Amino acid sequence: MESTVPLFYSHKDFSRPPRNPSDLPARVTEVHKELFRVWCEHGETWARPKGSLLREAAHYGDLPTVGDFVYVQYGRQSHSLITELLPRRTKFSRPDETGKREQLVAANFDCVWIVTSLNRDFHVGRVERYLAAAWQSGAQPVVMLTKADLCDDPEPYLLQIEKAAPGVHAHAVSAVTGQGLSDLEPYLRPGTTLALLGMSGVGKSSLINALLGEERLAVRDIREDDSRGRHTTTLRQLLPLPGGALVIDTPGMRELGLWEVDSGLEETFADIGELAGSCRFRDCAHRSEPGCAILAALADGTLEVSRYDSYMKLARETARRTAGQQAMPAWQRKQQIRRFQRAVDAAQDTRRKE
């Protein structure tokens, strides 16, 4: 474990010194509401955001998340303080329960593994949805088809992914038999951070356990009636792998809400975007307009109806999401600021009692 500790906080952003010379570079490995587990040169420590950081979050909604690089004021006898949050290279976020606010899930990863299982729950449209979020994050997506030991022939599934995600690598793997795991070594270079995204029960925890070489994360069997897994991971955490790579495990999501995925949508459906550039009208909605290159491709079979439907569905959702964010009333924004201010006051009260 000791040999992996420096990899938690070695990052080029730390070339800029902290405002307080005594502060230490660190990396967030777990989030528990306003309490964070971080790694620094002294090892693992619990930390709370400094009051000034919470006040900034009250206005900008930008608290640390798993994978973030931070500076901390190290506390030997009590909790440490997170004093600075450094700029993120990549991030994955989704709407919160209100749908109006961004909820950060993970940050500063190099590669996104989109995990889906080779059973009856396999759905290309869902993979496309995750691809849009992965491309938007700024990292390279890779598709992991798990539970290959339960599938007689993974090849048809791999071909579906190849058509839905041109240029994106896909692997059929089994955490039980080890099938395909050796093909993942190029992604596991020392210092590389991976983020795993996928629905509940697709085998993320089993895959991580196989990479760890031990049963560290809880795993539950799939249900026999519908091939769906039960929710297991409830905590976002950054874990070191034996070879020096790092992996961010995220809770499974039955339905992935998208947050600002305009560029991710363009990457995921680059073929449709290229067709759209040939439409007669610049503002073509690709529904019934004359001279629509996308409708022509549907008619001659060069574009599959299912892919067109996925694109239109995600495009409509993105448009609604953007409109909803812009229409956020002032009273709701003030309510958010008051909620964050209460968190500031509660944190300060806790520190006074300590």
Q: What is the pLDDT of residue 59?
A: 58
Q: What is the mean pLDDT of residues 209-219?
A: 79
Written out in words, the top-level CATH class of the domain with range 104-249 is: alpha beta
d(CA 31, CA 105): 10
Q: Note the pTM of the prediction, 2 decimals.
A: 0.75
The confidence band for 322, taking pLDDT boundaries of 50, 70 and 90, is: low
What is the CATH T-level fold of the domain 2-92+332-353, as seen in this structure? OB fold (Dihydrolipoamide Acetyltransferase, E2P) (2.40.50)
Q: What is the pLDDT of residue 327?
A: 46
Assess whether pLDDT exceeds 60 at residue 326: no
Q: What is the pLDDT of residue 1?
A: 36
CATH number of 262-326: 1.10.40.50
Assess whether pLDDT exceeds 90 at residue 199: no
Domain spans in the chain, listed from the N-terminal domain onward: 2-92+332-353, 104-249, 262-326
The confidence band for 145, taking pLDDT boundaries of 50, 70 and 90, is: very high
Q: What is the pLDDT of residue 143?
A: 95
Q: What is the pLDDT of residue 6?
A: 46
Q: What is the pLDDT of residue 282?
A: 84
The confidence band for 230, taking pLDDT boundaries of 50, 70 and 90, is: very low
